[in-house]
Amino acid sequence: MSVIEVLRVVHYGLGPIGLGVARVLLERPRVRVVGAVDASPDLQGRDLGELLDREPVGVTVVGTLEAVPRAEVVVHATQSRLVQVESQILELVSRGAHVVSTCEELSYPWFHHKAAAERIHEAAQAAGVAVTALGVNPGFVMDLLPVILSAPCRTVRRVSVERRVDVRARRLPLQRKVGVGMTEEEFQAGVQAGVVGHVGLGESVAMIAAGLGWTLEAIVDQVRPVVRDGRVEGLRQSASGIVDGQERVRLDLTMALDLEDPTDRVRIEGDPSFVSEIPGGLHGDVATCALVANALPLVRAAPPGLRTVLELPPLRFSG
């Protein structure tokens, strides 16, 4: 963008992440937030600034897209499952807006949701806009980062990533999502119903394989509770990518109360082999909001279609 150019943005979905992105963007002089949409009647009619505990910003939350001005980019932060958001994405695309979404299954839908991915890709190409989904995970720490770290390798045999998150200080919806306070029976029932567990680990496996040029044969998932004194305090979740009959990608995610040694650790096995670690790990909400905000100009400049973060220029701070 030129020095005088300002990016007009609409926020679609004002949960914790949607509001977090709005907080970041309202601090950036080359971004103008022109609209905000949320399905909750409790939020409609209120100024966006009020929801962020700051002075009014002149943007009133409404319930439909028809009630907001058009914008170059829409920040979409509603649901995790692609089946829940496909119609929303298609509506945004039909209005000629580029879309940056936090939907986990949209981050790399070509393995598990190919038909939906093709519909969105074709609609975006026809409209001349780009659609990308990202966050801290999926979208960065357990997929894009290991792909980038493979750059100095002559060969890569295997990639593994371990992410350990202490959810004690995290928001309650995340604690519930990982099963905190449940019995083991309630945990297993929640996993079966799709309401307990991290969404997007399989998408991260598929993204790594695609980024390294490997033909992925299968993804094997496992979710187990972390139990102390008969109560669930979190989960251990893993996903493996099978290539040529062997496990070539391994992702391990532990999210629990009072977890020791929180970290993000990437291990590359190849020539050379090495380990890269972020002690303490990246804070999921903070990093997700920043990643979305920093991606806006890159997505707007991307070729039309459904694009993964692998297809964007290198993500970086763009304040």
Determine the Cα–Cα distance for residues 124 and 109; give it in Å rounded to an integer: 15
Q: How many structural domains comprise the chain?
A: 2
pLDDT at 209: 98
Domain that holds residue 158: 144-281
Residue 316 lies in a domain: no
**Residue 4 in this model has a pLDDT that exceeds 70:** no
The strand pair at 7-12 and 31-37 is best described as parallel
Residue 319 lies in a domain: no
pLDDT in tens, 42-74: 999 999 999 999 999 999 999 999 999 999 999
Which of 8, 21, 13 has the alpha carbon at shortest distance from 292?
21
Indicate the range of 2-16, 25-39, 183-197, 223-237 predicted with least confidence.
Answer: 2-16
pLDDT in tens, 198-244: 999 999 999 999 999 999 999 999 999 999 999 999 999 999 999 99
- Residue 173's pLDDT band, with cuts at 50, 70 and 90, is confident
Give me the chain's average pLDDT, please. Answer: 96
Same-domain status, 125 and 154? no
Determine the Cα–Cα distance for residues 106 and 76; give it in Å rounded to an integer: 11
Same-domain status, 277 and 306? no
Same-domain status, 162 and 184? yes
**Residue 318 in this model has a pLDDT that exceeds 90:** no
**CATH code: domain of residue 29:** 3.40.50.720
**Residue 302 in this model has a pLDDT that exceeds 80:** yes
Determine the Cα–Cα distance for residues 31 and 50; give it in Å rounded to an integer: 19
Share of the chain above pLDDT 70, in %: 99
What backbone torsions phi and psi does residue 116 show, to the nearest 5 degrees? -65, -40
Mean pLDDT of 21-47: 97
Same-domain status, 171 and 220? yes
Same-domain status, 49 and 166? no
Which of 59, 230, 302, 249 has the alpha carbon at shortest distance from 143?
249
Residue 237 lies in a domain: yes
Query: What is the number of H-type helices and E-type strands within the chain?
Result: 9, 13
**Residue 1 in this model has a pLDDT that exceeds 70:** no
pLDDT at 5: 81
**CATH code: domain of residue 185:** 3.30.360
**Residue 2 in this model has a pLDDT that exceeds 70:** no
- Residue 172's pLDDT band, with cuts at 50, 70 and 90, is confident
Question: Which residues make Cβ contacts (< 8 Å) with residue 253, sequence separation at least 6?
Answer: 137, 142, 162, 163, 165, 198, 201, 235, 236, 237, 238
Same-domain status, 277 and 290? no
